[in-house]
Structure 1
Amino acid sequence: MNLLQFLLNVLWIAFGGIWMSVAWVIAGIIMAITIIGLPWAPAAFRIAAYTLLPFGSRAVPRAQMTGRDDFGTGPLGFLGNILWLVLAGWWLALCHVITAAMWAITIIGLPFAWAHLKLAGIALWPIGKIIVPANA
Structure 2
Amino acid sequence: MSTLGNIIWVVFGGFLIFLEYLVAGLLLCLTIVGIPFGLQAIKLSLMALWPFGKRIEYMDYAPGCLSTILNIIWLLIGGIWIALSHLVLGLLFAITIIGIPFAKQHFKLVSLALTPFGRRVV
The TM-score, its normalising length taken from structure 2, stands at 0.91
Counterparts of 2:4 and 2:108 in 1: how far apart (Å)?
19
Counterpart position of 2:37: 40
Counterpart of 1:61, as a letter, is: Y
Looking at structure 2, the residues matched to 24 and 128 of structure 1 have their Cα atoms a distance apart, in angstroms, of 19
- Uncovered stretches (5+) of structure 2, i.e. residues with no partner: none
Q: Which residue of 1 aligns with 2:114?
A: 124
Q: Distance in 1 between matches of 2:85 and 2:15?
A: 13
Aligned partners of 1:75, 1:40: CA distance in 2, in Å? 16
Alignment of 1:1-136 (within 5 A): 4-63=1-60, 68-69=61-62, 73-132=63-122
Aligned mates of 1:91, 1:27 — CA distance in 2: 14
Matched residues in 1 for 2:71 and 2:96: separation?
33
Identity %: 38
Q: How many residues align?
A: 122
Cα distance change of structure 1 residues 32 and 127 upon mapping to structure 2, 3 Å threshold: same
Give 3-state SS (helix, strand or coil) of 1:33's partner. coil
Moved over 3 A (4+): none
CA drift of 1:33 comes to 2.8
- Does the residue aligned with 1:85 lie in a helix, a strand or coil? helix
